[in-house]
Amino acid sequence: MEQREIDRLGRSVSAIGLGTWQLGADWGDVDGDSAVAVLQAAADGGVTFFDTADVYGDGRSEQTIGRFLREGGADGITVATKMGRRAQPHESEQYTLENFRAWTDRSRANLGVDRLDLVQLHCPPTPVFSTDAVYDRLDALVDEGAIAAYGVSVETRAEALEAIARPGVSSVQIILNMMRMGPLEEVLPAAREAGVGIIVRVPLASGLLSGRYDENTTFAPNDHRTFNRDGQAFDVGETFAGVPFATGLEAVRRLVPLAPAGATMAQFALRWVIDQPGVSTVIPGARSPEQAKANAAAADLEPLSADVLAAVEEVYRDVVAPEVAGRW
Ligand SMILES: NC(=O)c1ccc[n+]([C@@H]2O[C@H](COP(=O)([O-])OP(=O)(O)OC[C@H]3O[C@@H](n4cnc5c(N)ncnc54)[C@H](OP(=O)(O)O)[C@@H]3O)[C@@H](O)[C@H]2O)c1
């Protein structure tokens, strides 16, 4: 597996990582043993970067990773967690040093580590991005040894650029996929220039880009693909990348024939992400060991040709861009 250096993190991470929201909650049910098997399959495939959050299953995702690390699952794994969303209400006033200490203490206990490798603010309220004191508090956590580094998970391109401009920020997590191309223009070049890692989430548009869904596909009631279709629970852009389901299906039908021989649609979509200059790692969410293994193998595909990249962009421009109209 190709490893990519993140300058500001002082570490290398696998080009294909693993997202572990699925191992916590909100994606139907995944039991504890299956969750550990997903982590093992990813590590066996060369994945060295796991993304989690303190709120995924209220700590269940972190605890599963902790169990995996304790049981000696693999060496050299970087675990990135997130904090902020435990705040009720989720407002910028909650981003205090006291709360930061409490949240990181809980994540350290869940993961069973003294120091967290990377903590990302979990899509914080917009005012947080311009608050100097928040970055000072994060620097204090580094000085105290609770965390090795910090980053930010963002919703918008403007937020990404604001975070990249902060010298202490090591990474920015953002949505990028064949149906979400906005970050290619300014965000990725700026991150590259600054040595900030780009962690790409929702690379499969919540599974739409696997090419397995059709007009009759349904999801479990406790799956956000049922309950957040219109942004009822959190930002609508997090579910199917904010693309209306029927539009997504139409785009995928045009993308499938472009996939390289021997690659699945999901692998093609992941290869597309890691072929974008500036991407450090992509974190597909896997619900089974088979998915985790197949996703890791996408790094073995040849980089996509200029013709294929242009054809993918044409589908985006024709089908998706008119629907998302500058939003993303
Ligand atoms: N605010 C934030 O910071 C934030 C928000 C969202 C996500 N994330 C992170 O990003 C990670 C990835 O995003 P995501 O999980 O939302 O979306 P995603 O990776 O775009 O989609 C995940 C879904 O894709 C399908 N899939 C995965 N691998 C597959 C394969 N090999 N073949 C066929 N289908 C496959 C599965 O769908 P089925 O269920 O149909 O099998 C899976 O549930 C999360 O786990 C989380 O760590 C962070």
What whole-number distance in Å separates Cα of residue 236 and Cα of residue 277?
27
Average pLDDT, integer, range 18-27:
86
Instruction: Band the pLDDT of 34: cuts 50, 70, 90.
Output: confident
Residue 30, pLDDT above cutoff 80: no
Atom of ligand 1 nearest to the CA of 153: 3
Evaluate: CB of 84 within 6 angstroms of ligand 1: no
CB 316 within 8 A of CB 254: no
Residue 232: predicted pLDDT: 92
Q: Is 32's pLDDT higher than 80? A: no
Q: Return the best residue to mutate from 16, 20, 22 for the ligand 1 pocket (most ligand atoms within 8 A of CB).
A: 22
Q: Does ligand 1 have an atom closer than 6 angstroms to the CB of 154?
A: no
Mean pLDDT of 149-160: 97
Q: What is the Å distance from ligand 1's center to 306 Cα?
A: 27
Amino acid sitting at position 293: K
Homologous superfamily, domain 3-324:
NADP-dependent oxidoreductase domain (3.20.20.100)
**CA-closest candidate to residue 49, choices 76, 22, 68:** 76
Q: Check if 278 has its Cβ closer than 6 Å to any atom of ligand 1.
A: no
Domain boundaries, the chain: 3-324
Ligand 1: distance of its center to the CA of 105 in Å?
27
Residue 180 CA, ligand 1 centroid: distance in Å: 15
Q: pLDDT tens across 292-301, in order?
A: 999 999 999 9
CA distance 120 to 163: 11
| Residue-level pLDDT at 120 | 98
Higher-confidence residue of 31 and 218: namely 218
pLDDT of residue 327: 86
pLDDT mean over 139-167: 97
Q: Is 291 in the pocket of ligand 1 (CB under 6 A)?
A: yes
Residue 85: the pLDDT is 96
Mean pLDDT of 287-312: 97
Residue 57 in contact with residue 90, Cβ under 8 Å?
no
pLDDT for residue 118? 98
Q: Is 311:257 a contact under the CB 8 Å cutoff?
A: no
* pLDDT tens-digit readout, 184-200: 999 999 999 999 999 99
Separation of alpha carbons 7 and 47, rounded Å? 19
Q: Is the pLDDT of residue 33 over 90?
A: no
**At residue 73, does pLDDT exceed 80?**
no
Answer yes or no: is pLDDT of 26 > 90.
no
Kindly state the average pLDDT of the residues 69-73.
85
Express each pLDDT in 198-242 by its tens digit.
Answer: 999 999 999 999 999 999 999 999 899 999 998 999 999 999 999
Q: Give distance in angstroms: CA of 239 to centre of ligand 1.
A: 10
Q: Is 115 in the pocket of ligand 1 (CB under 6 A)?
A: no
| End-to-end alpha carbon distance in the chain | 30
The answer, yes or no, to whether any atom of ligand 1 lies below 6 A from the CB of 155, is no
pTM as predicted: 0.96
How confident is the model over 248-258, as pLDDT tens digits?
999 999 999 99
Helices 157-164, 187-194: axis angle to 10 degrees equals 10
Whole-number Cα distances in Å, 110 to 102, 107, 192, 255: 12, 5, 32, 40
Give the confidence band of 303 by pLDDT, cuts at 50, 70, 90. Answer: very high
Mean pLDDT across 112-135: 97
Q: What is the pLDDT of residue 51?
A: 98
Give the mean pLDDT of 312-328.
92
pLDDT-derived band at 131 (thresholds 50, 70, 90) equals: very high
The bridge status of strand 169-175 relative to strand 150-153 is parallel
d(CA 251, CA 57): 32
Place of tokens 């937020």: 159
Average per-residue pLDDT in the chain? 95
